[in-house]
Structure 1
Amino acid sequence: MTDEPKSAPPDEEPSASATAPADVATGEGDTEPAPSVVDDVASERDRLHDLLLRKTAEFDNFRKRTERERSEFARRAAEDLLRDLLPLVDDLERALAVTPKDSDGDSYRIGVELIHRQLLELLRKREVTPIAAVGEPFDPNLHEAVTEEPSDEHPEGTVIREFRRGYRLGDRLLRAAMVIVSAGNGADDEATPEADDSAPASEVGQT
């Protein structure tokens, strides 16, 4: 009699514990970071944010300060250049003052007048304007007094003569005007002697 082949034993099903993921088996996947770690991360985030804001503000202030310094340097350089041109204007005006006005055909005077006009036009375009002086009240912010002289025509404290013209650059003083100021006519200083009212009436007319 022949032996029937024995059937193979059925495959054993793997146990649930063997196939379960490690994190499920251990329960580690459900854990959350500790509160101290969250606080540390939030604190570091806030610190970096504050640092970014501070550095941004510092850079903005640096940029503004640099622009102001550059603008101030350019303004001072232009101011110095314009101030250096003023003595040349003075020399041209002195040359015109000693040249007879009836010599209009003289090429020398014509040339000086041309240069003088061109310089004044250049200064005007740069907002350089002359300061009024003669006949004006003395202003220490605009005028530099050389001396005082008595005057019958001008009241005390009035500019009666100008040695050197002054100029403004916009609303700022570029160069003060050198002037002579009136000290008045001096008549008020010569007081008439008055009779001594304290003398007794009986003494009046006695020899």
Structure 2
Amino acid sequence: MAENKQDQAVDETIEEIFDETDVNETQDTDSTESGAADAASDEVAEGSTGGKEAELEQKLKEAEAKYLRLYADFDNYRRRVKLDAEAAQKYRAQSLVTNLLPALDNFERALMISTDNEETKALLQGMNMVLSGIQAALKEEGVEEIKAVGEEFDPHQHQAVMQDNNPDFGSNIVVEELQKGYKLKDRVIRPSMVKVNQ
């Protein structure tokens, strides 16, 4: 029986050793599996971090490109607004001048009459003074007459309404001005109506 107890104790000891070995192997297997899982998760984390970094860099590049486009658009808009404001200031009198030109033409036609009457001459002299004042005010605003007679025909400044065969003038030269043309600064607001030599 004592042997039996000893055998039993030896068996229990052996079982304990085997159990410990199984536990250690299981722990080793678990730790190996855990280490492999950790390494794999590190690789995945590094891969996902690298992927996230690349994705973030791409988004940053897109945002920078979008910012540069918006900045360029805004700069162009600001430049356009400035040019529009300058043009509006430069040509602010165009509407008024355009409306005044027919009255100015009639005023000049009225002054072309000839008279021997002293009262009428005094009236014409006063009208001439008024006309000179109007012309001076227009000139101050940048309005000037377009030269026509004796000049070469320019379709940007002259409107040909008649042709002539005058040997005193060269070909394509304006021989007569039927209606005065005007420019405001560098913009033609009314072309001269002219007769052009062939």
**TM class, shorter-length:** 0.5 to 0.7
| Match among 53, 76, 86 for residue 68 of structure 2 | 53
TM-score of the aligned structures, taking structure 2 as reference length: 0.58
Tell me the distance in 2 between the aligned counterparts of 1:104 and 1:152. Answer: 43
Aligned length: 152
Partner of 1:194: none
Cα RMSD for the two superposed structures: 3.4
Note if contact 2:91-2:184 (Cα within 8 Å) is conserved in structure 1: no
| Cα pair distance change 1:174/1:103, threshold 3 Å | farther
Partner of 1:195: none
2:98 corresponds to 1:83: yes
Tell me the distance in 2 between the aligned counterparts of 1:168 and 1:54. Answer: 39
**Matched residue SS, 1:61:** helix
Tell me the distance in 2 between the aligned counterparts of 1:45 and 1:137. Answer: 62
Partner of 1:172: 187
Tell me the distance in 1 between the aligned counterparts of 2:93 and 2:165. Answer: 40
Partner of 1:144: 159
| Cα pair distance change 1:156/1:101, threshold 3 Å | farther
Farther-moved stretch of structure 1 (39-48 vs 158-167): 39-48
**Matched residue SS, 2:147:** coil
Partner of 1:93: 108
Once the two structures are TM-superposed, the CA of residue 79 in structure 1 deviates from its matched residue by 2.7
Counting helix residues as a fraction of each chain, which structure ranks higher?
Answer: 2
Partner of 2:196: 181
| Structure 1 spans left out of the alignment, 5+ residues | 1-30, 184-207
Deviations 1:159-202 (A, max 9, x none): 3322111222333322222223346xxxxxxxxxxxxxxxxxxx
Note if contact 2:145-2:183 (Cα within 8 Å) is conserved in structure 1: yes
- State the one-letter code of the partner of 1:172: R
**Overall identity of the aligned pairs, in %:** 28
| Cα pair distance change 1:77/1:42, threshold 3 Å | same
Partner of 2:147: 132
| Cα pair distance change 1:124/1:156, threshold 3 Å | same
| Structure 2 spans left out of the alignment, 5+ residues | 1-41
Deviations 1:77-119 (A, max 9, x none): 5333322222122111111111538848855323322321122
